[in-house]
Amino acid sequence: MQQKRIHQIFVITVAVKGLHGIVEIIGGIALAFFSTDAILRLLYHWDKHQVVTRHFSTGEHHYYVWFFLSHGALNLALAIGLLLEKLWAYPAAIAILVLFIVLQLLRFIHVHDPGLVVFSILDVIVIALAVHEYRLLRKHLPTH
């Protein structure tokens, strides 16, 4: 019973990761269509104290377009591979999620965005679940 529950949690977290990837891809495409000035004008309406807008530059704009598109595409590809139980997806997901954690924590050092820590914690959970699922899958593979 416990294995079934762990598997259900794995499927749910991976599906959420895939949906998050789709949202990131859409966000990256949307950001790419707007100029930095247009985004700043929009942000000024929400950020009257300029907490976010004072740090948003053209370089930041390009970084977020790249980040959302690449991070989203990788998350979506890994989620599809994991949900289809493709053996290659498990070690790939573990390696890529470790890389995401390192990049997110390095970024946190510079921007102090707590969301980066939250995403890193979620990635650690997905890694632990993926390791567990991978071991189970390998145990049930035919040896011939």
pLDDT in tens, 40-80: 777 767 666 665 556 667 777 788 899 899 999 999 999 99
Domain that holds residue 49: 2-139
Domain membership flag for residue 118: yes
Tell which residue, 120, 96, 132, has the closest CA to residue 9. 132
Q: What is the pTM of this model?
A: 0.80
Residue 87 lies in a domain: yes
* H/E stretch holding 78: helix 58-83
Tokens of 99: 């890389």
Q: Is residue 89 in a domain? A: yes
Considering its fold, how many domains does the chain have in total? 1
For residue 98, being part of any structural domain is answered with: yes
What do you get for the CA distance between the two ends of the chain, in Å?
29
Q: Is the pLDDT of residue 138 over 80?
A: yes
In a domain? residue 144: no
User: For residue 105, what are the CA distances in angstroms to 14, 52, 73, 113?
Assistant: 21, 19, 20, 10
* pLDDT per residue as tens digits for the range 92-126: 999 999 999 999 999 899 888 888 899 899 899 99
Structural domain contains residue 92: yes
Predicted local distance difference test score (pLDDT) of residue 139: 85
102 inside domain: yes
Does residue 29 lie within any of the structural domains? yes
